[in-house]
Structure 1
């Protein structure tokens, strides 16, 4: 990092997740090891092979600052994203009093993987049942359920920008399960390069519906052995894992140019040191043996941040509860960190909430920022029968106090995109520079 490169910090966090609909509720649930995975309640799943998911419960959009019009017209994942963005701004004490110049220098980047799936299924069902008839009542119903906000993949980003009148860069990232991290990383670059001063960045998804579940069931990616024990179903790195758990949610982070944050006395959760992304270029769903592209990505990220393997104190892993994914991850850690791999605490947030698709890596970025802020590491749940090929310190079942200066959050997605964010404890970069 050159002396002239602008530094970027995290000053606001917002989360909508299966185990908590605010930053504090979510964090406390993670630290206490509370799972949000339950039997599906939003529709009748009795005929499906998978009957459990990480649903968001007790979500009241108006309590999170959405207007009645937004409640009526915005889809579930867009509502989640807007609610999380409102939380992040409030957390950063920046939810009011933006001047015009500040609005022009503030943007929104949102990642998503499957945000249209549930709404598409709803519209398909509506047309299948009713068609388009010369019936005024039916036509009125169709006009209500079909708006640009239901059809556009960038609805979450543009809705947040419109709600807060942010005129800066606004984009949607669609890179699968790494989309939230990619949105954060791209936003980090914009601030670093001087194209924005503040960015709301994160991810959102809500695809718990028959089409969403069946799409992954067909390829054998979902757990089917724990329908009667939902809280035990997501078990990353455990020998008895049999697939991931579909989930929904959103997370948004407020990234800010460091000097602006310091000037207004903002609380800084962590500093963003770097971001890197690459592709397996291999297969839509399978992983290359030993996770070679992930190895290269981790090495690249450390090099770009002028860090060594010895500097890393914590990793929030992709950890989706699938056999090949976690064996490849473990092999990559060992290749990059050598013997130190056994000394680095690694935890998988998905063990508590399931896999929230495009929101997953953003939620995990929130966890990583809080680990640096609180010096407390959440556990990986359901570590009962460790996979002998996954023999690192996956922080089994109980949270742990641990000094963390530098942390990584990495994700991998269907399609083969790998991404990693590098965070530092507040002030750590200054100490390294001495």
Structure 2
């Protein structure tokens, strides 16, 4: 099996419009959650989000062909390729591919509602025609196509739609393609922007979003805290360049980390709730660690899914305890979502940036807003301030609605 390394990073997040500023924000415990500005939310119970700010669409791409979320991922991919250095895409184009966890939004449903509203207002006017541009904006695969075109990639193209585990699944599947010799280079990650009125309304009706901190947005996302009441929606994208290790060394690439393990399971429990005992997350973590040829005690830091909902945080903690046993209390754990909000399909990619940063700087980013310890959640969640420690290997967790789980190991 080929060894796989990360040589390029790219990101557009509420903490910054590139990977270095995103990592710097995570390490500093800076919060990117603020007022919801993508629509008039004054009548909504939720009026906050983790918004991308001051973003300029990437050059060379017709903006009319890209949704907001797709613009994020094209920019992140361009950054990742540039960060990977000269020559990364100079090989056989048919051995260079793209794998992305796409948006879990349903813009076609929102458009249908808007269309019905316009018809009612116009009292029976003809149904408005849809332009080709509208179709392109709704397609999950247009973003992948633009990333592939700009990078010169003509190999495997993998579009993943597994909600909040999407980017972690995409990175894992890209890793497999290189590991098994089907590709030499893969651009992998995810993107999302569920900050429309319909997404906020839908998640609110599910009871998943916190409604208690509209006047103090930075205090809203509180993973593992006893006062947590739900997550905060965010938006953005994260992309990494994966390469076969020997080829990366031969071209003199700077290796950020080795991607060494991948595990994926399905809980088959409930659509939204996580199993109280940890369920399939236990097996996904175990499989990823075993795939890396490691023992659970080789892991020093877990970039947790950590959404801030009562059930998810308890389930993830139970899963960690079930797998790691007494060693769970020696681990460092933190949730990047406490600072960015939940980037849904892009969330695993942000966790990947946190894990790589922890490895490179031997620094664990914090879980902010953790002020009230939950007696049922008694692990080290790195409260409020980053902490220096030895980090040999990291585990990235991504657990999604629908019960899909994806875990990655880096060293």
**1:350-365 counterparts in 2 under 5 A?**
350-365=337-352
8 A contact 1:371–1:404 mirrored in 2: yes
**1:82-121 counterparts in 2 under 5 A?**
82-94=74-86, 98-99=89-90, 101-117=91-107, 120-121=109-110
Shift of 1:329: 1.0
**1:4-403 counterparts in 2 under 5 A?**
5-62=1-58, 65-67=59-61, 69=62, 71-94=63-86, 98-99=89-90, 101-117=91-107, 120-122=109-111, 124-125=113-114, 128-129=117-118, 142-143=130-131, 145-147=133-135, 149-403=136-390
Deviations 1:216-240 (A, max 9, x none): 1111100000011100000100011
Corresponding residue SS for 1:332: helix
Corresponding residue SS for 1:14: strand
Corresponding residue SS for 1:234: coil
Structure 1 stretch displaced more, 248-257 or 23-32: 23-32
Shift of 1:155: 2.0
Corresponding residue SS for 2:158: strand
Corresponding residue SS for 1:188: helix
Q: Aligned partners of 1:151, 1:245: CA distance in 2, in Å?
A: 24
8 A contact 2:221–2:341 mirrored in 1: yes
TM-score norm. by structure 2 comes to: 0.95
8 A contact 1:77–1:115 mirrored in 2: no
8 A contact 2:81–2:88 mirrored in 1: no
8 A contact 1:177–1:412 mirrored in 2: yes
Segments of 5+ residues of structure 2 without an aligned counterpart are: none
8 A contact 1:115–1:153 mirrored in 2: no
Aligned residues: 408
Segments of 5+ residues of structure 1 without an aligned counterpart are: 425-434
Moved over 3 A (4+): 96-99, 130-135
Shift of 1:31: 1.0
Cα RMSD after superposing both structures: 2.0
TM-score norm. by structure 1 comes to: 0.90
Q: Aligned partners of 1:241, 1:134: CA distance in 2, in Å?
A: 48
8 A contact 1:19–1:35 mirrored in 2: yes
Shift of 1:163: 2.4
Corresponding residue SS for 2:391: coil
Shift of 1:293: 1.8
Shift of 1:162: 2.0
Shift of 1:143: 2.7
